[in-house]
Structure 1
């Protein structure tokens, strides 16, 4: 009888051991990435980054389970990080710098807990308009969208109008998302929309494939004056054939997207997710056109806020930082 009891106890202990091992194998640590609307670039690229992290990163023996969440773009994402409501987010470089310093939309609301993980890819400023709108000056009296409330384009539109002798009082404001704006332009209910995203942007591609639109050039002395205000922007040339009907290159602006976090994220977590990204850029390059523009060589480009210590450790190991 004693032997039988001993055998039963041994089997029970073995079962507990197997169950414990299974529980350990299934342990997950969750890591969120705030992106943008589904019509832009943040969301699909964020989903792919989340998959890369989930497939390649661990934290103290537990798998890191990363998820990409739709968001209201840069300003809102910076606010989420400032409140430590999410672990990481994509934020345009100029907005991230303003949030940290307490400037522009963040006046008197400096978010000193923001930290950078690394630079991603250049986002192209695209002023998408009805065919008869050929310049920024032509926006006067038109309905114009600067994106969803909380987007980083609000300040840019203000500055663009100002250097061209206009103000927001000269336009009819609209706050549609990228996809909503494209639909309104197609229906004739919107004159133009300022869209800052990686090219080609899916919402613009769909619009241009079915309707004639114009990508308004952003160049000249007025834009040079804007660049003095917004040094994190740079002049770029959008290639011809980026969209149907774009037969010639278009001079415009670009700003780099930054992957950011906050000081409350552990050093080990920041190190592991940063490593997962830059160790697997080839994978991103295979599945998304903007993934080809992410590299260790440009990982600190346009980063004007402090690096997270975990990310900094990774860059020192790679020789990016001495």
Structure 2
């Protein structure tokens, strides 16, 4: 069980150490895990920061809550961890949680009815990243090119399939690579990969690192094909990657975004979920000091894009502060 390993706080959380702190003497210790994503995305650093925040500020009677962030394979894998009760909480995209709860898409015949929402976090931006000297200007230009879509069965992999279908293409038109964000940008650097499809909070560390040494561009995702995709996947909304998000990106880029959700399962106690929900939404200013996406997390939007049931512990907190759908 992930929850019973020796506690090791993520190194990504260390910047919070000087920003929050509370001494808590307790009779018992309760462990709380957060499944995140790969180190090249946004889930991992934010999860590490959130774990540190919870460990320092969450209040439970006679209990010390110790949180840790776990690297993972993001939305689909994290949802499956929750379905088996192998971790207390996880980050996942809104559309993946919806599909899991309904037992559709990649969860056909495997309905996950024990998942519960803690709250919405921030919009994850879809970024189709290529080298600036490539001749890829629009999605259709990927025909005959290589692109990383993440692990087969992942939310990222599913998105590429949906984009391909919406543009009247098939997966056979592309050469798919199943690398992580970090691995894919290394391959782009070396000229061994044409493009990487990355859905994460922007700026994304792996893309920032790529742009620091190579000229890049982010291909727009807009027009009639995208409208067709949105009919099938309404959780993907129109979004703008702002100019200046990365070195060399001098103009706004039209693209898509899907909201990240912090989820749990129905076996975690109401007291614990109430405590972690309160710890997050009453300390968003602290998260904003250590990562740009922290500034976009707000209790006011905590129930946006949430279609699965809200955990009673989180619902109690929202009722107290007057937040409703």
TM-score if structure 1 supplies the norm length?
0.91
| Bigger radius of gyration | 1
Q: Which residue of 1 aligns with 2:102?
A: 101
Counterpart residue number, 2:151? 148
Confirm or deny: 8 A CA contact 1:72 1:149 kept in the other structure.
no
Give the secondary-structure state (helix, strand or coil) at the position aligned to 1:124.
Answer: strand
> Which ranges in structure 1 are unaligned for 5 or more consecutive residues?
1-23
Q: Which residue of 2 aligns with 1:121?
A: 122
| Aligned position for 1:37 | 38
Cα deviation 1:3-35 (Å, max 9, x = unaligned): xxxxxxxxxxxxxxxxxxxxx736310000000
Q: 1:150 to 1:47 in 2, by over 3 A?
A: farther
From 228, 241, 256, the equivalent of 1:238 is 241
How far is 1:213 from its partner?
2.1
Stretches of 4+ aligned residues off by more than 2 angstroms: 24-27, 148-151
- Equivalences for 1:58-69 in 2 at 5 Å? 58-69=59-70
Counterparts of 1:72-221 in structure 2, within 5 Å, are 72-130=73-131, 131-221=134-224
Q: Which runs of 5+ in 2 are unaligned?
A: 1-24
Q: Distance in 2 between matches of 1:297 and 1:187?
A: 44
Q: Report the CA distance between 1:208 and its aligned residue.
A: 1.2
Q: TM-score, normalised by structure 2?
A: 0.90
Distance in structure 2 (CA, Å) of the matches to 1:91 and 1:147: 15
Preserved CA contact (<8 Å) 2:27 2:62: no
Q: 2:271 aligns with which of 268, 272, 275?
A: 268
1:149, 1:282 → 2: CA distance?
36
Query: Per residue, is there more helix in 1 or in 2?
Result: 1
What displacement does 1:40 show? 0.5
Q: 2 CA distance for matches of 1:27 and 1:289?
A: 35
Residue 153 (structure 1) shift: 1.1
> Which moves more between the two structures, 53-62 or 221-230?
53-62
d(CA) in 1 for partners of 2:27 and 2:66? 11
| Alpha-carbon contact 1:91-1:258 (below 8 Å) kept | yes
Superposition deviation, residue 59 in structure 1: 2.9
Q: Alpha-carbon deviations, 1:274-298, whole Å to 9, x = none? A: 1111111111111111000000110
Equivalent pair of 1:35/1:43 in contact (CA under 8 Å): yes
Counterpart for residue 286 of structure 1: 289
CA contact (8 A) 1:99 1:111 kept: yes
- What secondary structure is seen at the aligned counterpart in 1 of 2:41? coil
Q: CA deviation at 1:165?
A: 1.1
Cα distance in 1, alignment partners of residues 316 and 165 from structure 2: 42
Please state how far the C-alpha of 1:209 moved relative to its aligned partner: 1.4
The answer to whether the Cα contact below 8 Å between 1:234 and 1:253 also exists between their aligned partners in 2 is: yes
The answer to whether the 8 A contact 1:133-1:214 is kept is no
CA contact (8 A) 1:74 1:150 kept: no
Q: CA RMSD in A?
A: 1.4
Structure 1 equivalent of residue 258 of structure 2: 255
